[in-house]
């Protein structure tokens, strides 16, 4: 099923049609349909509520202006006219107020940072001192950052990155004189790429795991050939240092919640010995959530590891120095990101840090702990194989499920979960924090969050369920559970919560499954949930006269009534 395009509106003080074209016509996801406000009238457009542009519902708004086009006092400043700095601040705060008002109506608002052309020198050496042009530009950007930080759906984008990516041709005055375009098309291309990456990450399409080769990726040389002592890693050697630095960058990604796993054609004992014993290894064995080190086809190994970790192929990145292996994985899993990898280890860190697929809209405690959570799951599965039955196994873990109402504290993580979860997701509805909060405030709606903890670790906020009360029925709208806690009967506990809440209601509870390419596990659960499945449809129902009990294998702490 092809996702619907995102509708966007671009507002600018310059001709921004090139960005519109790139957003609409470049093949990279997400597909976008974009409208452009009339050229050169950003503030007028923003304050004119009667403008027909505001009638259509847009998913995202981009406001990309030049500081001197938006703030008249800054325009005077760059002409070296005397101005009262208070005026710049007043104009900026006026813009911020308008922006905040508009932001309430959009899922996402993106504001590229203000920049000066790279050739602009201002006052030279004193331009970064108080009341220099660059000083004020930084002050404006800083104020914007401060003011926008508290808005969960507004993001400041780094337009300097786009200009740097375009190189010396980034600003071509001829384009300005001919068409009021301040930048070369290469800048708009980089901007479109960045905006699309941002929209993807805000929509929950973020990569979660990197599959790494070992030889000539984590270290220089082939361990099977040269032995541990002769690997190029760290030390006083430029190549060794570059491999060690690459490992450091991978460790940084792991620290912010990206999982690492090894897929390597090697002897397992030899390779693991190198990981454990090489003194310059930055990555340790427990930094990897799994590995397949053998002589099997890498695509087969990836299939097994993804199944073990309960992750879909679309969540993965594959890094390998061998173009043949890259091609094999690319063809076997079109959804896996397989970046073209540089031939020299000196460029590895740069290639890794340039990937936009790890961009995220949230960064919470749970993200930092992701690797240990997966390792906990591995341990749990080990215990499972020794347990007699699933209920016995769950009981032995003392799985505790804490149910809370959606509140201001758990809202950011709940919105993140709603937007990132694909597999156990009934409707794959995506909402910003503001939209989710607004939804929960309706008197006919209820939203609960689910936290899961057991003897091995605390998985944190991993579930969300919402319902909508109607005349003769109560409908489950969102039913979302992280793949980290699938199959522990948490799903049944969530259903039990909804039904127990509806106690006394005489109608039916319904759940309508909306299929996506990724949420079949959710359908499988509902088919076995006890709900009645309507023939030839994906609608499930439960007669509310009947009780639905919490699984007795779980310890339930319902704090939603407190």
Partner 1 sequence: MYLSMAEKKLVLEAIFEAIDDINETLAPGRKISKDPQAFLYGPQGAIDSLTLTLLIVAIEQKIEQKLHASISLVDQTTASQDNAFHNIKTLQGHIERLIDQ
Task: Please say which residue, 172 or 301, places its beta carbon nearer to partner 1.
Answer: 172
Which C-beta is closer to partner 1: that of 22 or that of 550? 22
Residue selected from 21, 160, 314, 372 as contacting partner 1 according to rule CB under 8 A: 21
Nearer to partner 1, 174 or 545 (CB): 174
For 127, the 3-state DSSP assignment is coil
Closer residue to partner 1, CB minimum distance, 40 or 412: 40
15 binds partner 1 (CB under 8 A): yes
DSSP 389: S
Q: Interface with partner 1 includes 178 (CB under 8 A)?
A: yes
The answer to whether residue 22 forms part of the interface with partner 1 (CB under 8 A) is: yes
**What is the closest distance, in whole angstroms, from the C-beta atom of residue 16 to partner 1 in the complex?**
11
* Among residues 169, 354, 389, 407, the one that binds partner 1 under rule CB under 8 A: 169
> Would the CA dihedral through 158, 361, 91, 83 be positive or negative?
negative
Shortest distance (Å) from residue 117 CB to partner 1: 16
Task: Classify the phi-psi angles of 324: left when phi > 0, otherwise alpha if psi is within -120 to 50, otherwise beta.
Answer: alpha
What's the longest Cα–Cα distance across the chain? 82
Residues 308, 200 contacting (CB under 8 angstroms): no
Distance of CA 375 to the CA centre of its chain: 22
CA-based R_g, the chain, Å = 27
CA distance 298 to 471: 54
Measured CA to CA, the distance from residue 486 to residue 423 in angstroms comes to: 10
One residue of 103, 181, 399, 480 binding partner 1 per CB under 8 A: 181
Among 3, 7, 17, 378, interactor with partner 1 by CB under 8 A: 17
User: Judged by CB under 8 A, does residue 139 bind partner 1?
Assistant: no
CB of 192 to partner 1, least distance (A): 9
User: Per rule CB under 8 A, is residue 7 in the interface with partner 1?
Assistant: no
Count residues contacting partner 1 (CB under 8 A)?
19
Interacting residue with partner 1 among 5, 7, 24, 523 (CB under 8 A): 24
With CA atoms as reference, report the closest residue to 482 among 387, 401, 409: 401
Indicate the SS3 state at residue 40.
Answer: coil
How many CA within 13 A on the CB side of residue 183? 29
- Regarding 174 and contact with partner 1 (CB under 8 A), the answer is yes
Residue 117: half-sphere exposure toward Cβ, Cα within 13 Å: 16
DSSP 8-state code for residue 2: P
Nearer to partner 1, 7 or 24 (CB): 24
Q: Considering beta carbons, is residue 13 or 325 the nearer one to partner 1?
A: 13
Of 169 and 255, the one with the shorter C-beta distance to partner 1 is 169
Q: Which of 179, 276, 285, 354 binds partner 1 (CB under 8 A)?
A: 179
Stretch that binds partner 1, among 155-163, 172-180, 277-285, 336-344 (CB under 8 A): 172-180
**12 contributes a contact to partner 1 by CB under 8 A:** no
Decide: is 175 part of the binding site for partner 1 (CB under 8 A): yes
Counting contacts by CB under 8 A, is residue 39 touching partner 1? no
By rule CB under 8 A, what string of x and - marks binding of each residue 188-217 to partner 1?
A: xx----------------------------
**Cα–Cα distance between 259 and 250 in angstroms, integer?**
9
Among 1, 25, 225, 269, the residue binding partner 1 under the rule CB under 8 A is 25
Q: Which candidate, 171, 199, 190, places its Cα nearest to that of 14?
A: 171
Nearer to partner 1, 184 or 215 (CB): 184
Q: Is 232 helix (H, G, I), strand (E, B) or coil?
A: strand
Query: Which residue(s) pair with 263 in the sheet?
Result: 292
Question: Is 119 a residue that touches partner 1 (CB under 8 A)?
Answer: no
CA distances from 513 to 147, 187, 436, 490 (A): 40, 42, 19, 18
Whether the link from the prior residue into 30 is cis, omega within 30° of 0, is yes
Q: What's the distance, Cα to Cα, between the start and end of the chain in Å? A: 42
Q: Which stretch binds partner 1 (CB under 8 A): 23-31, 230-238, 335-343, 487-495?
A: 23-31
Listed residue (95, 121, 128) closest to 109, CA to CA: 95
Residues in contact with partner 1 by the rule CB under 8 A: 15, 17-18, 21-22, 24-26, 169, 172, 174-175, 178-179, 181, 184-185, 188-189
């Amino acid at each position: 099923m092809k996702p619907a395009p995102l509708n966007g509106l671009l507002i600018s003080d310059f001709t921004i049609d090139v960005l519109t074209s790139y957003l609409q016509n470049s093949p990279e996801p997400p597909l976008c349909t974009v409208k452009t406000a009339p050229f050169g009238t950003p503030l007028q457009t923003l304050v004119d509520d009667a403008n027909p542009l505001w009638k259509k519902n847009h998913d995202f708004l981009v406001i990309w202006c030049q500081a001197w086009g938006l703030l008249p006092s800054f325009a005077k400043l760059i002409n070296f006219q005397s101005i009262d700095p208070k005026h710049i601040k007043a104009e900026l705060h006026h813009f911020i107020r308008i922006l905040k008002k508009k932001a309430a109506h959009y899922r996402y608002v993106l504001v590229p940072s203000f920049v000066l052309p790279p050739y602009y020198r201002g006052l030279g050496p004193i331009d970064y001192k108080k009341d220099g042009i660059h000083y004020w530009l930084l002050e404006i950007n800083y104020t914007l950052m401060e003011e926008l930080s508290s808005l969960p759906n507004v993001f400041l984008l780094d337009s300097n990155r786009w200009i740097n990516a375009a190189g010396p041709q980034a600003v071509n005055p001829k384009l300005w004189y001919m068409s009021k375009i301040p930048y070369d098309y290469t800048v708009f291309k980089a901007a479109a790429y960045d905006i699309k990456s941002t929209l993807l990450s805000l929509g929950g399409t973020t990569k979660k795991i990197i599959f790494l080769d070992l030889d000539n990726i984590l270290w220089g040389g082939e361990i099977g050939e040269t032995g541990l002592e002769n690997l190029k890693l760290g030390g006083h050697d430029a190549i060794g240092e570059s491999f060690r630095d690459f490992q450091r960058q991978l460790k940084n990604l792991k620290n912010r919640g990206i999982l690492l796993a090894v897929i390597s054609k090697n002897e397992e004992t030899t390779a693991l010995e190198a990981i454990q014993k090489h003194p310059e290894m930055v990555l340790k064995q427990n930094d990897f959530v799994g590995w397949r080190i053998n002589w099997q086809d890498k695509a087969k190994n990836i299939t097994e590891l993804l199944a073990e970790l309960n992750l879909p192929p679309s969540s993965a990145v594959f890094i390998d120095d061998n173009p043949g292996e890259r091609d094999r994985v690319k063809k076997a899993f079109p959804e896996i990101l397989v970046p073209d990898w540089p031939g020299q280890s000196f460029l590895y860190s740069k290639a890794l840090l340039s990937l936009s697929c790890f961009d995220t809209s949230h960064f919470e405690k749970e993200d930092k702990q992701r690797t240990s959570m997966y390792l906990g799951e591995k341990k749990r599965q080990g215990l499972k194989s020794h347990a007699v039955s699933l209920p016995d196994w769950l009981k032995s873990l003392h799985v505790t499920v804490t149910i809370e109402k959606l509140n201001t504290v758990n809202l950011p993580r709940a919105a993140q979960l709603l937007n990132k979860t694909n597999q156990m997701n009934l409707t794959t509805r995506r909402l910003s924090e503001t939209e989710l909060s607004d939804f929960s405030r309706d008197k006919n709606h209820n939203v609960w969050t689910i936290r899961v903890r057991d003897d091995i670790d605390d998985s944190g906020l991993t579930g969300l369920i919402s319902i909508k009360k109607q005349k003769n029925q109560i409908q489950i709208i969102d039913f979302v559970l992280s793949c980290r806690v699938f199959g522990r009967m948490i799903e049944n506990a969530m259903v039990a919560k909804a039904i127990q809440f509806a106690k006394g209601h005489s109608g039916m509870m319904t759940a309508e499954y909306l299929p996506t390419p990724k949420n079949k596990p959710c359908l499988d659960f509902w088919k076995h949930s006890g709900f009645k499945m309507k023939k030839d449809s994906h609608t499930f129902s439960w007669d509310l006269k009947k009780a639905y009990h919490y699984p007795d294998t779980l310890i339930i702490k319902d704090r939603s009534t407190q």
